[in-house]
Structure 1
């Protein structure tokens, strides 16, 4: 005899299954984005390591290593300190994103995956002690990489998704 909501094939309530799926998709997407970022950075190092560059119009390819964080802030700090602080921030963000993933809109989850994937890619890249590989140069903006674009776009999507989701759930 069944009481309550129907169970999924695995015996877990459907809402618990959806929550697990939301968390799994978020973390899988973040991991895939980090791997993609690291692969592109590896390619940039292989092709641009001896001062080679490429002019692609509004953007150029040029290899630089950023030992600091955003916009080279903290470049003079000990590498272990930057790594430890960055890892702590990423772990906190990951905990929050995984905890709240089931309640997020899809757009917010996509944004969170981009932020976590980009942040993880830059953290892993930083572990060799040389700094983060940057290779996209505009001439009017600091040189950056795909992970930086993931973080920036992801933050925007997260905020937009949160605003849209809260507006849709607000009574008139």
Structure 2
């Protein structure tokens, strides 16, 4: 009689989990951003302005990209250009995710979530909904905060290799 080895159901590989986690995290952040933008549009569409000590909340639309660059270009050109950039960014992030430190991984989720949120918002042709105004900086939204903070965290994680336990061999 020969001994048979039981077949084990292997759990998904770590790279697959990291890649899926990055994409799911990004989609959750993009969803939160889009929900808040919808609330801003619903509550500020008649020109309302809410003053707070740090920020003024008012509704604006940005038909360009960062700092309204390219606002005079046709919408299709802006959508296609940002779509190509985001596709390349998401490809790089998902390929790199298994090797990223925890810090870089968190930054990647923030960058991807913000980029996807603004891209989806841009698809209707009206421009990206912006609602946070500081008085000294162009008006921005939560997705912009995700991208900016995420880029800084991603770079910080890349500059500190070996500091995070996940980056050690």
Q: Above 0.5 in TM-score?
A: yes
What 5-or-longer segments of structure 2 have no aligned partner? none
Under a length normalisation based on structure 2, what TM-score does the superposition of the two structures give?
0.90
Counterparts of 2:161 and 2:118 in 1: how far apart (Å)? 29
Shift of 1:53: 1.1
Q: Tell me the alpha carbon deviations over residues 137-169 of structure 1, each in whole angstroms, 9 at most, x when there is no partner.
A: 000000000000000000000001111125777
Counterparts of 2:9 and 2:160 in 1: how far apart (Å)? 33
Q: 2:62 — aligned with what?
A: 66
Match of 2:158 among 155, 162, 172: 162
What 5-or-longer segments of structure 1 have no aligned partner? 2-8
The equivalences for 1:2-13 within 5 A come to 10-11=9-10
Shift of 1:11: 2.8
Across the aligned residues of Structure 1 and Structure 2, the Cα RMSD in angstroms comes to: 1.7
Under a length normalisation based on structure 1, what TM-score does the superposition of the two structures give?
0.88
Shift of 1:42: 0.2
Q: 2:37 — aligned with what?
A: 41
SS across alignment from 1:165: coil
Counterparts of 2:140 and 2:27 in 1: how far apart (Å)? 20
The equivalences for 1:1-172 within 5 A come to 10-11=9-10, 17-165=13-161
* Displacement over 3 Å in runs of 4+: 166-170
Counterparts of 1:45 and 1:89 in 2: how far apart (Å)? 27
Counterparts of 2:96 and 2:20 in 1: how far apart (Å)? 12
